[in-house]
């Protein structure tokens, strides 16, 4: 049986690293990289260091407006689906690649499996929210990472084909954190002392595309009394330059990094300041206090369990959290037992007969 997997962005590469090789033990997998993330530091390096099979197709779509990008993906994917005739299409997360991959399959009556289904921010202005809702409603297998995600689907009358499997990102952290300790030298290269800095990431359109929000965030980072390490997403860099925002001397900007380097930076930080969904979870898994610069989060368990705080883009709230948010103890288990990839591949095989 043949599974066609569609990926295109950093978080999806990480998730595929836990699944693809296991699918290939008993089934054929065709891997399609849409090229949504196209910079080497955002894409190629992940395949190399995580041992992800080389893509059978690279669409090289690149960055564009949402409609244009998604439309180009649909056109290219339809040709591939018609040629390869997969028995199932597998998609991850909530990007434009996710929506294009699932919608194209649905139009051709190919079953769709969605890993990381059921997440909801309840903010329809987010492109990610639109993508995940639409994908869930046309999927045949829905692999949810938490009980909350399962309840979200039930509230939308989606109960058939839903499996609470745990989170593949937990599998990934368990798989790669020890490797990161052995091979990553980024902490030494940057001359950092463990627990002496805050790691920050900023990339969501709601923050980067708003001069008010991005100005407020950069102002807070520049005026705190902590050393900030900021791997700079290309879109964030573009808007910082366009808005001509001053950067504090305490902020060290670096290029985007590979997954193992990112895990090393996370694991050696004292706190994490982010607007990324994946980084929120990685902080939780690594027992790092997380300050989330959004107005809501899909990962409500991280907040409910006391290891994540939501501050939006408010400078005062960001500064207060940097100074005072310090959870202790061990985060409760909320994302499975670290065997999610095995559970998912077993369900896919049973489905395909």
Does 214 lie in the same domain as 109? Answer: no
The reported pLDDT for the residue numbered 173 is 95
Number of domains in the chain: 2
Residue 183 has pLDDT above 70, yes or no: yes
Residues 97-126: pLDDT tens digits? 999 999 999 999 999 999 999 999 999 988
Does 228 lie in the same domain as 163? Answer: no
The pTM for the full model equals 0.90
Does 178 lie in the same domain as 158? Answer: no
Q: How many CA atoms lie within 13 A of 91 on its CB side?
A: 32
> Which residue of the set 33, 37, 114, 203 is catalytic?
203
**Mean predicted lDDT score pLDDT of the chain:** 94
162 inside domain: yes
- Flag the least confident range among 7-16, 46-55, 207-216: 46-55
331 inside domain: no
Q: How sure is the predictor about 38, in pLDDT bands with cuts at 50, 70 and 90?
A: low
Distance in angstroms (rounded) separating the CA atoms of residues 206 and 269? 25
Does 105 lie in the same domain as 20? Answer: yes
Which positions ≥6 away from 59 have C-beta within 8 Å? 32, 33, 34, 35, 72, 73, 76, 77
Token pair in block for residue 17: 């690293």
Distance in angstroms (rounded) separating the CA atoms of residues 94 and 11? 10
Which positions ≥6 away from 206 have C-beta within 8 Å? 125, 126, 213, 275, 294, 295
Does 177 lie in the same domain as 148? Answer: no
295 inside domain: yes
Does 130 lie in the same domain as 219? Answer: no
Token pair in block for residue 116: 């990381």
Does 197 lie in the same domain as 301? Answer: yes
Token pair in block for residue 245: 């925002």
Among residues 150, 168, 160, the alpha carbon closest in space to that of 91 is found at 168
Higher-scoring residue by pLDDT: 60, 84: 84
Does 202 lie in the same domain as 256? Answer: yes
Range of the domain at 60: 2-167+336-352
Distance in angstroms (rounded) separating the CA atoms of residues 92 and 11? 9
Distance in angstroms (rounded) separating the CA atoms of residues 252 and 9? 25
Q: What number is the average pLDDT over the span 25-53?
A: 79
Residue 146 has pLDDT above 90, yes or no: yes
The reported pLDDT for the residue numbered 77 is 98
Higher-scoring residue by pLDDT: 297, 65: 297
CATH for 213: 3.40.50.2000
Does 190 lie in the same domain as 62? Answer: no
137 is catalytic: no
């Amino acid at each position: 049986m043949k599974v066609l997997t569609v990926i295109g962005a950093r978080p999806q590469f990480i998730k595929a690293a836990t699944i693809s090789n296991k699918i290939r033990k008993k089934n054929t997998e065709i891997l399609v990289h849409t090229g949504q993330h196209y910079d080497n530091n955002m894409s190629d390096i992940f395949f190399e260091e995580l041992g992800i099979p080389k893509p059978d197709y690279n669409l090289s779509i690149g960055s564009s407006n949402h409609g244009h990008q998604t439309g180009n993906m649909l056109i290219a994917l339809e040709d591939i689906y018609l040629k390869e005739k997969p028995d199932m299409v597998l998609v991850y997360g909530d990007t434009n690649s996710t929506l294009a991959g699932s919608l194209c399959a649905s139009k051709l009556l190919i079953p769709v499996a969605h890993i990381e289904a059921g997440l909801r921010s309840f903010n329809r202005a987010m492109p990610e929210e639109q993508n995940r809702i639409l994908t869930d409603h046309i999927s045949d297998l829905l692999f949810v990472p938490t009980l909350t995600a399962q309840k979200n689907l039930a509230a939308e009358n989606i109960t058939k084909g839903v499996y609470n499997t745990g989170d593949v990102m937990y599998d990934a952290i368990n798989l790669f954190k020890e490797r990161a300790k052995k091979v990553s030298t980024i902490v030494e290269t940057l001359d950092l002392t463990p627990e002496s800095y805050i790691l920050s990431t900023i990339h969501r359109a709601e923050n980067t595309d708003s001069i008010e929000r991005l100005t407020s965030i950069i102002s807070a980072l520049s005026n705190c009394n902590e050393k900030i390490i900021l791997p700079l997403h290309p879109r964030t860099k573009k808007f910082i330059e366009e808005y001509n925002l001053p950067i504090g001397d305490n902020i060290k900007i670096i290029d985007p990094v590979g997954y193992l380097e990112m895990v090393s930076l996370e694991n050696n930080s004292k706190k994490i300041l982010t607007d990324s969904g994946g980084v929120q979870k990685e902080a939780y898994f690594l027992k790092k206090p997380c300050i989330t610069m959004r107005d809501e989060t899909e990962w409500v368990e991280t907040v409910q369990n006391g290891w994540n705080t939501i501050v939006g883009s408010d400078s005062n709230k960001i500064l207060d959290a940097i100074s005072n948010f310090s959870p202790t103890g061990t985060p409760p288990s909320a994302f499975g037992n670290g065997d999610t990839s095995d559970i998912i591949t077993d369900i896919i095989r049973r489905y395909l007969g």
